[in-house]
Chain A
Amino acid sequence: MSDQAFDLTRRSFLDRVLMATAGAGVAAAAPWAVSAASAASAAPMAPATGDRVRLGVIGTGDRGRALIRNIAKSRNCTVAAICDKFAPHLTKAREIVGANVPAFADHRAMLDARGIDALVIATPLNQHARHAANGFDAGLHVWCEKAMARTIADCGAIITRSRAANKVLQIGHQRMFHPTYLNALKRVKAGDIGEITQVRASWHRNNSWRRPVPAGTDDRHINWRLYRESSAGLMTELATHQLQVGNWFLDAVPTRVIGSGSICFWKDGREVYDHVALIYEYSGGRKFIYTSLLNNARYGCEEQIQGSKGTIEPELGRIYAEVPPKVLALQRMHQDVARGSKRTVPIGGATWFPELPVTTPGDSLGWGEYDETMLQFEGFGEAVRSGKPLPGLLAQAYRASVASLLGEQAMDRGEAMTWPTSLVEV
């Protein structure tokens, strides 16, 4: 894509975000997006290199390298250092950023070298808390991949640490910046799907989630998602995203969660569940119903936001109106007789009306072609410059991480877990 085409796409993306968040209800429910898009829209198209926020990326595996590419698209951030203790990952990252960007095998060496304004953490989950603390101690702002940390206590500890250091802490939840999700929120606030009483979400894949282990490293390093020491598996790596969506659209946190998890299909020595099924209860009897599994991909990744007047499926970018119920002919006949009117009764259609899934095509919510992860970093860049975090974002991220870890506890213990009362105020 040419620079000019890229600029147009970027402008279009920002316009979409601004349009989606224009209403008061949406602005209040997604203040981070308003703030990030407004700042990005007002910023010069191509600031001088020296004006960019310098980011040091720890963890240059697949996700870390994807972040590096998105940072490169942003107009106010630049990758100023990279770090990974696994040399092949570092080499691949260096191929993206170029040889002039300092590369480190030890994150402490990167921090000691100075030359960066903020840390981007894309390391295994159980290292987030330590790396974030090291970053704050080094006087840096921190952008951290979701989930926040391996334990609920560590999630809170990171927040406390950021406050003590008076530094920005931002967690990666790209759906919060996606125009389709923001349009979905706009439609919800407009009452288009009625009262939301349930969100049904799934992330179904059909693969082992296990990566080949190259020479020079070990399984627990490469496949850290499969081991309990370093990850809660599907809950922290996938469900966190969708729990954030659930909390966001239900405008609340769960009151409690029940769930069942199992290693049902991939009995290959992994420690985390390959099947999870949970019900998160919200006030007023509302529910978030979640399943994730690794041996059937038919239903893929989706959140079905279900209201009395319609349904939104943001991953598909569609909104569906409820199909009005058929007027029953015999019901009408009774009314006719009551008022002395005799009319032909239209009857004899289907013997049985299947309550199969409704397959109406619905309407598009609008699709953002631009990568929303870019806007996350532009927002982060503005937050670093101003020293003020994007409003509302950390609370969403914290609650999503807590919900994912609480779900893990519910499955492990086989009992309902109530929402913790000892969380850090955000």
Chain B
Amino acid sequence: MAGAANIMRFAAMGTRVELHRFCGGADDALAAARRAIEAVDDALTIHRPSPATAMNEALLAGRPAALDDELLFRAVEAAADGHAATKGLFDVAADLRTGTRWSMIAFDRAARRIAAERPIALDFGGFGKGFALDRASAALREAGVRSALLTAGESSITVIGEHPLGGPWPFSIPHPEQPDAELLVVELCDQALSISATVGAGTRAPERAAIVDPRSGSPVEVPACAVSIESNGTLAEIMSTALLVADRKAAQCLLRDGAGRRFHFDLRSTSELPRKCA
């Protein structure tokens, strides 16, 4: 059932979003998914007035911020969980210029308040894309969609159900700097995929901040690529980022816990990669 009515493309979250519906659901399902993504964009953007901007202004001024916006609260909550789950490797407060990190933040879930011991600003970055895809896929499922693919850029992908022709969705992931070389082939079914890299065209985007190791406060400069397949987009983004900043020991732990789903490529040693078939 391929056709224009089943595809929606638009710009959001600072990238190109594509929603592809293959099976099930009403005709307006994609519109609902789009609204869900745009709502997350409106809540989390730091490039125009938003609940996130207001929160950051308060934190930068040394004031606590009330997380009245539901989406922002849920995002902060997920970011806090991600920080804990990765033992501090995933950190939306890490800032190369100011040396800030999540440990300087006091987050009160019950009171829905956040405060910081010094001026700080949160940047949800790629995490926001996974978070938005989760909201969109929830909207699609609610609308009865049984097979769909959602992307925010090409590095954040969520699939609902099986491939329209049955079985898992096969994806090949290219080397970030050698588009004709294949790093990995993966298969997804009702899962989310996140790809993070320290090199490649995506890292040259305007306003793209360097990936920072929150423990050292230094940028991650080793050419590397991390791939994570998780049950949802938020977790996939958290884990791919954590893998990228992890040292060898921490990476081994993450890879062991996600064997077959998480991958880390040191691109200094992948010069002989297989070429993709035309």
Contact = CB atoms under 8 A, between A and B. Distances in A.
Contacts of A335: 2
A329 B7 CA distance: 14
How many of chain B's residues touch chain A, expressed as a range? 35 or more
Contacts of A324: none
B184 to A, nearest CB: 9
A416 B172 CA distance: 55
Contacts of A345: 169-172
Nearest to B4: A334
Interface in B110-143: 126
Contacts of B201: 349-350, 352-354
Contacts of B7: 334
Contact of A330 (B149, B182, B208): B149
A342 B170 contact: yes
Interface string A155-176: 0000000000000000000000
A42 interface: no
B83 interface: no
A251 B208 CA distance: 44
Contacts of A329: 154
B15 A344 contact: no
A344 B16 contact: no
Contact of B171 (A334, A337, A338, A348): A348
B20 A344 contact: no
Contacts of B179: 349
Contacts, number: 92
Interface in B147-203: 149, 151-157, 163-167, 169-174, 176, 179, 182, 185, 193, 195, 200-202
Nearest to A356: B204
B259 interface: no
A338 B164 CA distance: 10
The listed residue with most A CB atoms (<10 A of its CB), out of B151, B154, B169, B202, is B154
Contacts of A212: none
A356 B166 CA distance: 39
B157 A337 contact: no
A340 B165 contact: yes
A69 B172 CA distance: 65
A347 B176 contact: no
Contacts of A346: 171-172, 174, 182, 276
